[in-house]
Amino acid sequence: MTTPQLHHDPNRSRTNAPTVASTMSHRLQRHPLADFIRNSTLTAPDTVTGLIAAEDRLIDLEQQIQQRPQTLDEFLGETVSDLVAGKPLPDDIGVRVSEIAAAEQAADQAALAMQQIQHRLRSRWDTTAHDAADELLEHLREDLTSILTEARTAVTALDGLDVQDSEAVAEATDKQRAALAALKALRPRYRRLRSQQTDIVEAVYERPDSASPHDATAWRWKHVWASRIHEFENVYATAPKHDTRDVLWFRELTTRTDVWLPNIDDLRTSWSEIQHWHSPGKPNPTNA
């Protein structure tokens, strides 16, 4: 990324050329990991709280610059309209033009400065985002442990209930009914956790191994998530289908020893193993 230079061209026509400040709308954007943290219930790691706050202040300043009361082009347009309507030129027109032009020049310089600042903020993100993402994944890992513990307790409480037998379910004890309700409530929690996991990984711009810098990260990640290696450490095992009933799905899940929530490096290693296992260039999910 080329760092913009701070300079001003005094010969530029301000009546027909847009200012940097007027055209920079939406140029300043938060880092994807910052957006994820702002929209989630997870606590931001200490290493990035300052970066998140700095980006917020920078965006606020950008909005202030874009809300300047009047541009030189607007002033000149109003002056022409006044002349056509028979009104005289303002006595202080020179002063007003100078003030507006100076304000526009200052706004342009501020806009360029903010682009430089964001460039430097992104450089700091590059050195901290990976570790911050792993810290967030560790919090999710704790949640996963909690979900699996609750699921095992509920599965045990079913006491062998055949959930595919409608008569057996109808005659279930209160304890078994409570277990069924608990498992049903756990499924969306598990899905939400896995969704947060994939969002975090994609937010730090990590590419799976074998993906070149010119590949579209999004579709590459689709293959990774489809392989379910972010859920199960054993890349050669068949993962339970997502459309299975909650109880049957959790029964299988709670008996497995390879359920995990890997950090980014471990995820890349597993994906590399799958790539070597399958035909080169043709990702083929283990449970497709």
Cα(182)–Cα(156) distance, integer angstroms: 12
Which of 53-57, 83-87, 227-231, 243-247 has the weakest average pLDDT? 243-247
Q: Could you tell me the sign of the dihedral formed by the alpha carbons of 286, 151, 221, 142, in that order?
A: negative
**Is the distance from CB of 51 to CB of 34 less than 8 angstroms?**
yes
Q: Is the pLDDT of residue 134 over 90?
A: yes
Supply the pLDDT for residue 152: 95
Over residues 138-153, the pLDDT tens digits come to: 999 999 999 999 999 9
- pLDDT for 13 equals 39
Range with the poorest average pLDDT among 55-59, 68-72, 157-161 = 68-72
Q: Is the pLDDT of residue 23 over 60?
A: no
pLDDT tens, position by position, 208-217? 655 555 554 5
How many angstroms separate the CA atoms of 101 and 14, rounded? 8
CB 196 within 8 A of CB 43: no
Determine the Cα–Cα distance for residues 92 and 165; give it in Å rounded to an integer.
Answer: 90
State residue 274's pLDDT score: 81
Higher-confidence residue: 2 or 241? 241
What rounded mean pLDDT belongs to the chain? 81
- Under the banding of pLDDT at 50, 70 and 90, the label for residue 25 is very low
pLDDT value of residue 14:
39
Average pLDDT over residues 216-234: 79
Whether residue 40 has pLDDT greater than 80: yes
